Structure formats: structure tokens, C-alpha cells
Amino acid sequence: MNCMICKNGQTREGTATVTLERDRATVIIKGVPAVVCENCGEYYLSQDVTAHVMGLADKAIRSGVEVEILRYAA
């Protein structure tokens, strides 16, 4: 599919690093399965992956971290 952001690149299966911020907390999740634009690097997550990423971030934030770096594991 063509990238919705740059309109030039094609998307391919790959991985992304997702950074989420809430209040004073920052959660970085590496190795997230995604469809990634070969031109601009924009990534798209499936609904299931998004739910899992949000769960990881919520758990980290509830634990009181200010910065947390995680590796994605299904």
C-alpha cells in the first residue's frame, strides 16, 4: 500500500520503535511489529498490536516509572 503520510513510499512488514507519553511518563517500546513506509519511516500498527502496546504502556505507567524502555514480546 502507499503511505498515507508521504504519499510516495510503499509500506513493508517490519518493526518500529513506539514512544508514548502520558503526564510525566515516557514509555519506549522497541521491536514492535508494524507496516513501515520505506520512504518516510511512518509506521502503522494492527489493532491487536496497538492493544498490546497500550497494555504494556499502562502497566509501566501504573508502576510509577518516569522513563521505561521495553522490548516488544507478544
Instruction: Output the pLDDT for position 42.
Output: 97
Instruction: Output the pLDDT for position 1.
Output: 83
* Per-residue confidence band for 57, with pLDDT thresholds at 50, 70 and 90: very high
Q: Answer whether residue 53 shows pLDDT above 80.
A: yes
Residue with cell 516488544: 72
* Per-residue confidence band for 50, with pLDDT thresholds at 50, 70 and 90: very high
In the chain, where the domains are located: 11-71
**Which CATH fold would you assign to the domain 11-71?**
Ubiquitin-like (UB roll) (3.10.20)
Instruction: Output the pLDDT for position 74.
Output: 77
Segment 5-44, tens digit of pLDDT:
999 999 999 999 999 999 999 999 999 999 999 999 999 9
Q: Rounded to whole angstroms, how far apart are CA atoms 2 and 44?
A: 12
Contact of 45 with 32, CB cutoff 8 Å: yes
